[in-house]
Amino acid sequence: MSEEFKSIVDSSYDNGKPLWIYTSDYIYGIVPTAGDKWIEVSYTFEDSDDPLMKGEKGADFAYQLMMEEISKGVTFYVEDLKVPLLKEFAGGTGKSDSDLITAVIEELITNTSKYTSNTDFLIKSKDELDKLKQKV
């Protein structure tokens, strides 16, 4: 199972910039595919039966899932994450679908310190993907 996850990680930049978040308990990703689809991925460390969950989603639903993960999942680990500020940014972009997801990912990666003092939960470039693969 971890080989499938590593394969997803390795190809995650093939169609654009993904969002990869990692905590002490799990890894979460939203990965662009060809077209207006995204793959939502989670790998839970303590779930030995089926640690990998993945599914292809349309852009609108993928955006909702990504923002839910950021606002409800990540905030448990990153207590000072300013989710309302990120949502305000997203609302002000005037973008939709994959363009909106891409804009939010770019904003969070480029301006992490604007949203939190903790930067140890986010993969910011393709060069950092080994951090994810070493965890599984």
- Residue 15: pLDDT band by 50, 70, 90 thresholds? very high
Query: Coil, helix or strand for 136?
Result: coil
CA distance 63 to 72: 14
pLDDT tens for 61-116 read 999 999 999 999 999 999 999 999 999 999 999 998 999 999 999 999 999 999 99
Q: Is the pLDDT of residue 51 over 80?
A: yes
**Is the pTM for the entire model greater than 0.85?**
yes
Cα–Cα distance, 78 to 5 (Å, whole number)? 24
**Single-letter amino acid code for the residue at 41:** V
| Most distant CA pair in the chain, distance | 42
Does residue 130 have a pLDDT over 70? yes
Give the containing element (helix H, strand E) for 55. Answer: strand 52-58
- Specify whether the CB–CB gap between 99 and 63 falls below 8 A: no
